[in-house]
Amino acid sequence: MGAVWIDLTKDTYGIHGAPEPKLVGKTASHGCVRLTNWDARQLGGAVKKGTRVVFMGSQNPAKTTA
């Protein structure tokens, strides 16, 4: 895991930075969203606890809270 962890309400799911940016989008994950560390830091500074998170891209978007 990288420099930032944004915990989501679903157990073991989160948004985090990646220690090796070249692996973002290339390696398998068990429910996490990997960003570069600099993007994860920026996102972490832009949200607060309770921010609603919606994952788009499927017929049934997943909803959770940060």
What number is the average pLDDT over the span 5-22?
85
Catalytic residue among 16, 18, 34, 44: 16
Read off the pLDDT of residues 14-63 as tens digits, 9 standing for 90 and up: 898 888 878 787 766 677 888 999 999 999 999 999 999 887 776 665 66
The reported pLDDT for the residue numbered 50 is: 92
DSSP letter string over 23-39? GTTTS--SS-EEEEHHH
Q: Tell me, yes or no, if 16 is annotated catalytic.
A: yes
Q: Tell me, yes or no, if 1 is annotated catalytic.
A: no
Catalytic residue among 32, 33, 53, 62: 32
The reported pLDDT for the residue numbered 27 is: 67
- Predicted TM-score (pTM) of this structure: 0.72
The reported pLDDT for the residue numbered 45 is: 94
Residue 17 buriedness (CB in 10 A; 0-12 / 13-18 / 19+): buried
